Amino acid sequence: MNPEFQRNLWLEYSYRRAVFMAVSLGLIFLLGNSTFGTFALRTSAEYAFYAIAVIWGARNAAQAVVGEIQDRTWDGQRLSSLSPFAMTWGKLLGATSHAWVGGLLCILVLVWTAFRQGGAVAAMGDLSYYLMIGLMAQSVALFASLLAVRRRQTHSRLDVFFYQIAGLIAAWGVWWAWQVVSAGGVFGGAFEFDELRWWGMSIDASRFYLVSLLIFLFWVFCKIFKQLSYIISDCTKFSYNDSFRKDVALLIVFVFKEVN
């Protein structure tokens, strides 16, 4: 297992915290379902997901590196044998692991209700959307913090709040676009975005949006990887620029390096 991911699991995740999270969410879902039915169950799961995976998860991601600097453990990590790729996903998923425990429980409820109302297609659409909006908020918050880390070593709680806000702004953009293209969204049908014409092909708007979102999410991941590569000075033999092509090529090099 990735040592950085495992270390963050030890810090963030525990049996008691997981049980407390599951019991708390279970009581909320039970109360909503018994009072107002499936609609309240889905609404409570959606709000809980945004609070836990998006807002709280973005906060944890923003503190992933800044917290290490404040605890004076960051220099030791920079001098370790961890590659930038291992550090990237270890920080991103490890620091937010407890938030994802609650987030995944909420997603289970959301996917189940979507399946009951709209079938497998609706369930898969919801699963993809909620996973990606959570990862987008956390990735952008971590990326914003890394940009600041490269410029200075002191960071206040207000600074961390601004990094979190950057992730929340990205999540709001994801949410707004999904409400436009999704049939069940707040603005569904208002903008007539059910289909898109692209190079003569007719493409379902929601599917096109999810694929585009996945590409943007991958791009942010590449940028996090690139910033960590700069910070830990593990890839100075490469010539960097801001092109997406070189970011992807550099990431592929380290993926094969990890596998081999």
Q: What are phi and psi of 150, to 5 degrees?
A: -70, -20
Q: How far is CA 246 from CA 150, 222, 242, 253, in A?
A: 20, 10, 8, 10
Query: Rounded to an integer, what distance in angstroms lies between the CA atom of residue 59 and that of residue 241?
Result: 29
Mean pLDDT for 134-159 is 85
Mean local confidence (pLDDT), 191-207: 71
Higher model confidence: residue 203 or residue 49? 49
Residue, of 13 and 58, whose pLDDT is higher:
58
**Predicted local confidence at residue 102, as pLDDT:** 94
Q: Structural domain tally of the chain?
A: 1
Percentage of residues of the chain with pLDDT beyond 90: 40
- The residue segments making up the domain with residue 73 are 3-259
- pLDDT of 14 reads 82
Q: What integer pLDDT is reported at residue 235 of this predicted model?
A: 42
Q: Record the pTM.
A: 0.83
Q: Kindly state the percentage of the chain with pLDDT values over 70.
A: 83
Q: Are 151 and 145 in contact (CB under 8 A)?
A: no
Q: How far apart are CA 157 and CA 185, in angstroms?
A: 35
Give tens-digit pLDDT for 62-86: 998 888 887 787 777 777 777 888 8
Highest-pLDDT range among 12-26, 33-47, 96-110, 144-158? 96-110
115-129 pLDDT, tens per residue? 988 888 889 989 999
